[in-house]
Amino acid sequence: MEQLAVVWRQMVLDRDAGADVRDLPGIAVRWADCRFPFWNCVTLTDVGAGAQLVGERLRQAAGIMRDKERPGFLWVFEGLLDESGRAALGPAAERAGLRYAFPGTGMAGDLLPLPEPTHPELTFVRASTDELLRAYADINARAYGFDLEDGRDGLLGSRLWKERVHAYLGLRDGTPVTCAATVEAQGRLFVLLVATEPGAERRGYGEAVTRKALHEGGRATGLARATLHATAAGAPVYPRIGFVPNSPMGFFTLRN
């Protein structure tokens, strides 16, 4: 949760210097209000929250989300809730006008440095130009089912991504097919926006490009620990690199 709050502060302010970045009691707001839904984020921050507090926080979070122009996600780290809070989460979200979107898993590991990765079908290139960032954004948009312009609104023109984020594309026969990035955050490398073109999955591309982003980020920073938030599709991949799952997560959106 803390890694999300730190990294997303950078990401949303990179999109809009006037983005909504607030740390409220029990809620962190990191909302760029841009077309890329992942940069519009609210998360719960109480530790040991029970059923009553979870219900209150979900109502507050839904109210914040309703005031925004663009859609986004509420991230809930279930490991922060007590047993009653976890049991109450689904019904309380329903009452707050939220719907469950998809699951995730928080993971971390002391796994760096990693050796230089290779893949027989891929070459790697850093996404250090707008042309390459567009390819990076388009892979994410297609992988997550967003419009291409939504994905591009999240990355194009970003100096942060071109200069400070270790963002890499995996190219097959010169065509970008997979991508992953790492960025330094509070003494750790944070992995973000890993995606593979639909139809190119299950060939080891995602693991290879994630290893590349970790390798280069680790080489540049000297850090040993890395963290990430995995979707269901990526969850089986990361333990092979050395990540250890530590908290189930739920992503929620407003009901239409």
The answer to whether 57 touches 90, Cβ cutoff 8 Å, is no
Return the pLDDT at 85: 98
- pLDDT of 94 over the 90 cut: yes
pLDDT of residue 256: 80
Q: How confident is the model at residue 233 (pLDDT cuts 50, 70, 90)?
A: confident
Q: Residue 207: its pLDDT value, please?
A: 97
The predicted-structure confidence for 124-163, as pLDDT tens digits, reads as follows 999 999 999 999 999 999 999 999 999 999 999 999 999 9
The bridge status of strand 40-44 relative to strand 73-77 is parallel
Specify the DSSP class assigned to residue 48: S
Instruction: Please compute Rg for the chain using Cα positions.
Output: 18
What's the average model confidence in pLDDT over 95-110? 97
The Cα 27–Cα 46 span in angstroms is 8
Residue 100 has pLDDT above 90, yes or no: yes
Q: What is the pLDDT of residue 47?
A: 97
Q: Is the pTM of this model over 0.85?
A: yes
CA distances for 236 relative to 80, 121, 131, 144, angstroms: 23, 21, 31, 17
Show the domains of the chain with their CATH numbers. 2-105 (no CATH), 123-223 (3.40.630.30)
- Asked if pLDDT for residue 234 goes beyond 90, the answer is no
Quote the pLDDT of residue 68.
97
